[in-house]
A and B are shown apart, each in its own frame.
Chain A
Amino acid sequence: MANTKDTKGTKNGKLKMGLYWAASCGGCEIAIVELREKILDLDAAADILFWPCAMDFKYKDVEAMPDGHIDVCLFNGAIRSSENEHLAHLLRQKSKVLVAFGSCAHEGCIPGLANLFDRQSIFERVYLETPSTDNSDGTLPQISYQMPEGEVTIPKLYNTVKTLGQVEDVDYFVPGCPPQAPQIWAVVEAILGGKLPPKGSVVGANEKTVCDECKHKREDKRIKKFYRPHEIIPDSERCLFDQGIICAGPATRGGCGALCPTVDMPCRGCYGPPPNVVDQGAALLSAVASVVDADTEEEAARVVGEIVDPVGTFYRFGLPSSLLHRSKLD
């Protein structure tokens, strides 16, 4: 993106842009809608070649495009199935700049918690065990199934949720679940102005963490007891973490505007790790445990033992992009 000419190669000089989503909740699409009036500005500045939510486009058209035809492709959603991965490869080929847009594509997001289980156990739960399911035959979805009328196929579900970056070469990452509108607009402006940073950068977010934007007043941390959010009505003025509520803010890139703490709820880390942090969950775990006010092994073990679900807490949004990616497969 350093070369603006590359991104403005259309006949009318407008940027050729694509928006696409794989395994995601659609919140990233709504996040684009959250640009509100600015959508019209976007429309004026860029030719949106495809936008599944609002535009018509055709799979075959994309296949028919010359390589690198799309200037910028904003790709949201994780890689959950063979089909997701296939499309990731196709769009990489057709796009000059491939952007992992939103938490799913960036780091796997909440659906990435499925990496604590495998396909089989998920199938068993969903199709066999759930109390509303009536499935005495033990029917499970099949990738290929011979119906009386013919063969019906569906894509293969992966055991492991992957990030876009784990299956394809990604140029930029836009974090957030979902990315916040002002940040999206800032990225759009950077794209339009050809002012993107070096490849591989996280854009649409800050270098500092959520704490930098958080209005709650922080003091020295000495935690004697951890509270789950429903167990305490915190002081609205003071830092939630200081009050014993685990907050991912210190280990999370800022840029969202520290929105969750505005309603006295702790950050859960959707903007992903800060620039120098290798593993967000490990960084948060280390910080949380370090400030426990316990000077004996027994006391420390007792206090940290009150923390339920460490993986689900520290890797709420980033399990697939963590060092271990998932739990052990048997």
Chain B
Amino acid sequence: MITFTIDGQTVQAEEGKTVLEVARREGIPIPTLCYHPAVEPYGACRMCTVEVEAHGRTRLETSCTIPAQEGMIVRTNTPDVYKARQTLMGLFLSRCPNVPLIQELAAQYGVTEPPYPTDTPEEKCILCGLCVRVCQDVVGAKALNFSERGITRRVNPPFLEKTRDCIGCGACTIVCPTGAIEIVMEELAIYQEKPLGPTSAIYVPSLQAVPRVPVIDTDACIRFRQNDRTNGSNADACGVCQLMCEADAINFDQGDEIVELDVGAIIVATGFNMWDPMQMSQYAYGQSPNIITGLEFERLSNASGPTGGEILLADGRKPESVAIIHCVGSRDHSAHPYCSRICCMYALKQAHLVRDKTGAEVYEFYMDMRAFGKAYEEFYERIQEEGVFMIRGKGAKVEVPPDGKLRVKGENANLGVMVSVDVDMVVLATAIEAQPDADRISSLFGLGRTEDGFFAEAHPKLRPVETNTDGVFLAGACQGPRDVPDTVAHTGAAVSMALALLDKGEVTISPAVACVDEELCSACKTCITLCPYSAVSFIEEDNVARVNEALCKGCGTCVAACPAGAITGRHFTDEQILAQIEGLLRIPVEQLVEA
């Protein structure tokens, strides 16, 4: 540790730290223009000049380049320092008289008018070179450099031509202190892509994400893109996030990892999948950027979304009318016959948001309004009072006429007439469905599935979070459509069931399981592939099949298949069932009919 003073304040610094870094850490202001923590100090602008007293000598030094030394005395605001900066600002202001940052900084040092005239008052570049250094040293793209010398010196891409070396990362625009660089997109559009994607290459997936940590979008990240673009020869481009992160939490080498844990309980909370409305062409989804799903609307209206929460059309205008169609893919025998349960309420909420943020007219096409939860019906009444047009009848068709409006056709069942509404935006309240890989999860955990594809609970009324596999519980929408309050309640129940199980320290299993009589098992291996729970396995060293009673659910499939009669299904033995048959058929038919 090095001890020295800045402006009379004793400070400590690690070996190799610059005076500027220490001062910034200690909150002592030193102005800079060409400094950026992600880039090696360069000392080009010299605005960070300070007075340094060491070994009995005093001189002016750029604080961004001078390392801290034991016993040195630094002064950041002496008259000499002030004068030096004043001179510099005069020169900067003369070059770039119309750059606000320069104007402000010059004013701080008493320079309000450029001391020297200029022919190019629109000039913004102060030739600090930050952009060049970022592009070369950080991004590694080497798409920018200085050309020429002296007063004609300038920053430009090689040969002043468009370059394929530029990856459009925008790092230069971010570091440029004077806003001299602009990225020009070939086409300008707010909604060129669905407003659901991340806004930067490193982002927190959602504000509600748990754990709330950022992730890197490796398709967007400069480092990964450069790595991919150069086939690995430029593997350590950028890395600014890592450099900046004081917690040192960023690790680019981190990949997907398979973690094996021995656990006593598993809660399956694999959620749901949004049904893809492309499957029903009558909703014209994909034919206009202004036909969006409810989830996309959520993103659009989110304050952290691409429009900062403004509800805008693809061309940036505010919509004047919006249609929200319920039951898209739900309660529909050509898609999902079940009710997705959450859509009515979010559709009402979205109507409210549209009314509140844009004042646009809102048409809700609904079949039945399922406001089943606490205070939901009251909310429904409130929305009606807000002037939302409620049309009872399924939105049947969305048309995309060339004039730019969208036309929604449907039936108003209350009036018994067909209706047609022209709107700017259509929101489809699409169904929620089981995850596409639910079958894999189901065979992995031995879970049953109900007809709708969601995982089956052990009992629809009495065991809503348990499954047929002991120790595996269901939480949330993987078991069936449910909204947030219900998911929270369901999950809480699953957690408490799991905790109760763990706390007990032992498990109780059903006695109705299969068991192998090893005196009779002849190792034919018929049963081995039959068990969906892998409860029957072949024990090579004993040359018999054996049932793991903790895994066996007692379905009896192996019992019925065992050709050697070596497997008994306890409580449903062959003897018992055959005796039942005999017993039943011993009753004379006359008695049966009398009864």
**Is there direct touching of A and B in the complex, by C-beta distance under 8 Å?**
yes
A278 touches B563 (CB 8 A): no
Give residues 199-255 of A contacting B (CB, 8 Å): 207-212, 218-222, 241, 249-251, 254
Asked if A249 contacts B565 (CB within 8 A), the reply is no
Q: How far is the CA of A54 from the CA of B70 in the complex (A)?
A: 122
- Are A276 and B520 in touch, CB under 8 angstroms? yes
**Contacts A218-B523, A219-B525, A276-B574 given; does A209 touch B564 at CB 8 Å:** yes
CB of A261 closer than 8 Å to a CB of B: no
B560 on the A face (CB < 8 A) = yes
**Interchain CB contact under 8 A, A250 and B526:** yes
User: Which A residues lie within 8 Å of B522 (CB)?
Assistant: 208-212, 250, 254, 274
A290 and B531 alpha carbons, distance in the complex (Å): 11
Q: Which residues of B contact A220 (CB under 8 A)?
A: 525, 528-529
B553-593 interface (Cβ within 8 A of A): 557, 560-566, 574, 578
Task: Give Cα distance in the complex from A254 to B578, angstroms.
Answer: 25
Contact A275 B520 (CB under 8 A): yes
- Which residue, B517, B564, B574, has most C-beta atoms of chain A within 10 A? B564
Q: Is B521 an interface residue (CB 8 A)?
A: yes
Specify which chain A residues have a CB less than 8 angstroms from the CB of B524 in the assembled complex: 209, 211, 218, 241, 249-250, 287
In contact, B520 and A274 (Cβ under 8 angstroms): yes
B396 to chain A, nearest CB (A): 35
State the majority secondary structure of interface residues on B: loop
Whether B520 and A218, one on each chain, are in contact in the complex, defined by CB atoms closer than 8 angstroms, is no
Contact assessment for B561 and A277 in the assembled complex, using a CB-CB cutoff below 8 Å? no
The reply to whether A276 and B526 contact each other, CB–CB distance below 8 Å, is no
Q: Is A274's CB under 8 angstroms from B564's CB? A: yes
- Cα–Cα, bound, A111→B517 (Å): 33
Known A-B contacts A208-B520, A276-B520; the reply to A221 vs B529 at CB < 8 A is yes
Smallest Cβ-Cβ distance to A277: which chain B residue: B565
- List residues 263-310 of chain A with CB under 8 A from any CB of chain B: 273-278, 283-284, 286-287, 290-291
Q: Are A221 and B526 in contact (CB under 8 A)?
A: yes
Verify B520–A286 contact, CB threshold 8 A. no
User: Does B219 reach chain A (CB closer than 8 Å)?
Assistant: no
Q: Are A284 and B563 in contact (CB under 8 A)?
A: yes
Find residues 508-523 in chain B having any chain A CB closer than 8 Å to their own CB: 517, 519-523
Residue B244, interface by CB 8 Å:
no
CB pair A286–B563 under 8 Å, yes or no, is yes
Say yes or no: A291 contacts B526, CB within 8 Å. Answer: yes
Contacts of B517 in A (CB 8 A): 276
B196 within 8 A of A: no
Whether the pair A290, B557 counts as a contact (CB closer than 8 A) is: yes
Whether B530 sits at the interface, judged by CB under 8 Å, is yes
A212: which B residues are within 8 A, CB to CB?
522-523
List, in ascending order, chain B residues with CB within 8 A of A291's CB. 526, 529-530, 561
Output the least CB separation between A260 and chain B (Å).
Answer: 15
* Minimum CB distance partner of A290 in chain B: B561
Task: Give every chain B residue within 8 A of A276 (Cβ-Cβ).
Answer: 517, 520, 564-566, 574
Considering the chains assembled together, what is the distance between the CA atoms of A276 and B522 in angstroms?
13
- A211: which B residues are within 8 A, CB to CB? 522-524, 564
Residues of A within 8 A of B (CB): 207-212, 218-222, 241, 249-251, 254, 273-278, 283-284, 286-287, 290-291
Known: A250-B524, A274-B563, A283-B563. 17 other contacts (CB 8 A): A209-B524, A211-B522, A218-B524, A221-B525, A222-B529, A250-B563, A254-B522, A273-B565, A274-B520, A276-B520, A276-B566, A278-B574, A283-B565, A287-B524, A290-B557, A291-B529, A291-B530
Some 27 contacts from A to B, beta carbons below 8 A apart, are: A207-B519, A208-B519, A208-B521, A208-B564, A209-B522, A209-B564, A218-B524, A220-B529, A221-B525, A221-B526, A241-B524, A249-B524, A250-B526, A250-B563, A250-B564, A251-B563, A254-B522, A274-B522, A274-B566, A277-B564, A277-B565, A278-B574, A283-B564, A284-B563, A287-B563, A290-B530, A291-B561
Chain B residues with CB under 8 Å of chain A are: 517, 519-526, 528-530, 557, 560-566, 574, 578
Closest 8 CB pairs of A and B: A276-B565, A251-B563, A287-B563, A290-B561, A250-B524, A250-B563, A209-B522, A277-B565
